[in-house]
Amino acid sequence: MISKAVIPCGGMGTRFLPITKALPKELLPIIDKPCLAYIADELVDSGISEIMIITAPGKTAIEKYFKFDAELEDTLMKAGKIKEAESLRKISQRAEISFVCQMEPKGGGDAIYLARDFVGKNAFALALGDDLVYSPDNPATRQLAEAYERTHKTIIGVQEWLTDDIVNYGVADIDSSDGRLHKCKIIKEKPPLNELPSRLACLGRYIITSDIFDILRTQKPGRNNEIQLTDALNSLCLTEGAYVYEFEGRRYDMGDKFGALTANVEFGLRSEFGARFKDYLSDLIKSLKE
Ligand code: G1P
Q: Whose CA is nearest to atom 13 of ligand 1?
A: 169
pLDDT band for position 271 (cuts 50, 70, 90) = very high
Which amino acid is residue 10, in one-letter code? G
For ligand 1, which residues put their CB under 6 angstroms from it? 128, 131, 169-170, 189, 201-204, 229-230
**For residue 201, pLDDT beyond 90:** yes
- Asked if residues 184 and 243 have their Cβ atoms less than 8 Å apart, the reply is yes
The H-or-E segment that residue 142 falls in is helix 140-151
| % of the chain residues with pLDDT over 90 | 91
> φ, ψ for residue 8 (rounded to 5)?
-80, 130
- Asked if residues 172 and 200 have their Cβ atoms less than 8 Å apart, the reply is yes
| 205 CA to centre of ligand 1 in angstroms | 10
pLDDT band for position 177 (cuts 50, 70, 90) = confident
**For residue 127, pLDDT beyond 90:** yes
**Which atom, in ligand 1's list, is nearest to the CA of 131?**
12
| 217 CA to centre of ligand 1 in angstroms | 21
| 93 CA to centre of ligand 1 in angstroms | 30
Smallest CA-to-CA distance from 112 within 212, 14, 236 is with 212
Report d(CA 98, CA 38) in Å as an integer: 17
| 14 CA to centre of ligand 1 in angstroms | 14
Domain 4-255 has CATH 3.40.47.10: no
Burial of 211 (0-12, 13-18, 19+ CB in 10 A): middle
**For residue 1, pLDDT beyond 90:** no
Residues 233-254 have pLDDT tens digits of 999 999 999 999 999 999 999 9
The lowest-confidence range among 10-14, 60-64, 177-181, 240-244 is 10-14
Average pLDDT over residues 272-279: 98
Q: What pLDDT was estimated at residue 10?
A: 85
pLDDT band for position 176 (cuts 50, 70, 90) = confident
- Asked if residues 184 and 156 have their Cβ atoms less than 8 Å apart, the reply is yes
Q: Whose CA is nearest to atom 11 of ligand 1?
A: 204
Smallest CA-to-CA distance from 113 within 20, 244, 221, 185 is with 221
pLDDT band for position 163 (cuts 50, 70, 90) = very high
Which amino acid is residue 62, in one-letter code? I
Which of 12, 26, 128, 163 has most ligand 1 atoms within 8 Å of CB, for mutation?
A: 128
- Asked if residues 25 and 18 have their Cβ atoms less than 8 Å apart, the reply is no
**For residue 289, pLDDT beyond 90:** no
**SS3 for 15-83, per residue?**
HHCCHHHCCCHHHCEECCEEHHHHHHHHHHHCCCCEEEEEECCCCHHHHHHHCCCHHHHHHHHHCCCHH
Report d(CA 171, CA 128) in Å as an integer: 16
- Asked if residues 197 and 191 have their Cβ atoms less than 8 Å apart, the reply is yes
Q: What pLDDT was estimated at residue 245?
A: 98
Domain parsing of the chain, residue ranges: 4-255
Residues 42-91 have pLDDT tens digits of 999 999 999 999 999 999 999 999 998 899 999 999 999 999 999 888 88
Report d(CA 201, CA 55) in Å as an integer: 25
**For residue 281, pLDDT beyond 90:** yes
**Which atom, in ligand 1's list, is nearest to the CA of 130?**
12
